[in-house]
Chains A and B, each alone.
Chain A
């Protein structure tokens, strides 16, 4: 059998393909993006970038009702967007198997919160599968489809960043052709009128009981008996940390964390002297066990906040177990983690930053200069909040810039409102900005929205969207005309500017924020990483540079100060020329344009 090193997300794509998936839909979002990106490579599968997660799940629902195995993938906060169809999908059930992939982000590597989406599984009363490595990810996809069809339920496959983005060896298999199931009109199952919905709720309740019975004997859960003085109940990536720290204690590894197997858990706890629950983030398993009146130790020791790791397990549960018998927790021994040095807290940070030539930089430079109140959104441009630009006041979720800016205006009045702008990326605008814009027009807001149109979904690695004119499989598609869209939504004042023209950006922002009606500025310049050809770089004339460091306020990684003068790193610079426009001494020029 051929084995390959795969990240969890690629194992998931492979598993879906092998299990005969026919339709896969997603909106890009770390750490889920690679799933549908990879599925789009398989010619047997229809894969799409949907405009948002709600639409993605609805496409999967339609495909499932149509008899196909279908999958929708999203990051944890994406499930919030898709929660509306999800809760009713739980009532309708499926025809072809349906898997919802929720890629959670403990530790907030690239997210606005670290919510634990296993609670959605409980709320929807759908099975929740938690794999611990890439092989399990792949196996659980096929398993999940079978489970979905057997119990007529959607299934949540819940990954975390550490599983989604870590490589481990995976055995590859062949694709199993799963034929389309018959389609028949079943309004009592798929039309959720109140009367039909009520009837379906009884079905959900019956299904829940059957799933609880199933959980007791599911191969997804397994007991690894070893030393019975200590037992640990765990799931997902936490299993790996437990085994790393305490390889010889008894472990109940739960692959199915909703519904939980009460009898299996009770028996496990009864057979060990002390039982710990080690889970990342919320006490999802632990609370249920406590509700059954069973004695376990969990969140007294394991934090509810931030990503879990072997260190934390070693220093908490590991330390307790070592008190009992040091040999049971070898990694908790002091010599096991004897470091070469302690952390040096005074080192300069290396924060993520906008790239050299990033078109967002110019807009935030002007917003800061004009002292605007900026309601932000989700994307690379959220970095406009960080030093030295620090030109963003709020960032809540996808599409929130519009509602938040209107709320600020309505709360504090028109004068304050003139200082408020919303900023949103092109992909985010199409995801969930349009409804907010209509709302602003309809409710008499005078706000200004800047659409930062860099012609891609940049932060997740340059995925296409309806505004780029290409699909997930890189085929040509209709290219949405943003000017027409905003005009159609009722915006009369629309300006398009080039981000690299600072004067034009400033003029547009001044004009539109002063206007007594809602307006949109489309700041259009493709992401600097998209262009293949390098423009002439910028250079500093050391004779002219006065060392005032005004250009350093841009926070461009290509610019630095050598103690007396500014220097432009010729490898990093891509010639956007923004620094040449703000240098009061005109000391920075495009190479080739210098006065010889």
Chain B
């Protein structure tokens, strides 16, 4: 059991960090292990790199501070070497997660691969507007730790996780960035039973996996479909036939947000749609936590794929 939430403002920017926190905190009972956000702000020329250098579970070990310092210097050196001009870099509280902005016009895959070659480094997200923030604990804990109150954006998706198939750690936390595609992210509630088949298939195509979590498949699968030239909606429709198991997942790009439900409608989703605002969540109480009143909502049926433009 996990909880997912998504929100799109079609009339401009809003306090997307605070809004997602309100929704995710109300669904804490669906997953207290970790909380994650994928938020989309105003795109600019700079590429936002969110990365981590260690698991929070491993912090405080012998020589860890020195190792983090060394690896951070290595990240900066490698960014310079590959031609990514560092504009800003800051460490989040906790010391293992970082946000950097770089001037970079090249291909994202070599950049991600080069950074992840550093021991313990995982690129959480890359893109012109995507910011993925995830950590252990409930939504308010993560909100405070990463100071999400100041984060503005047009749309975003979020996830509260109850770990069932893999570890309670940052690598297994959602959302997943669709490596190596800029600004594509996924959150998922459910279990995929043909995970190993698809993982082997995608690895042979050259994709990388950071975790043992079945949900990572969806992000990488969609990335591969986009690379093949399919639209997001078509790729999502194909996923209904390609994935076995039960799932409701949300996917976001710089300009779109979509939802797909499996053919048994085994995982919940409630949807509220107005001209300016589209909000969806695993449970209605999350939508109410945002709106603060009774709302008109509906439950999409099985095999529904819906997408919205920002």
A and B: real partners?
no
The interface of chain A, by Cβ under 8 A from chain B, is none
The interface of chain B, by Cβ under 8 A from chain A, is none
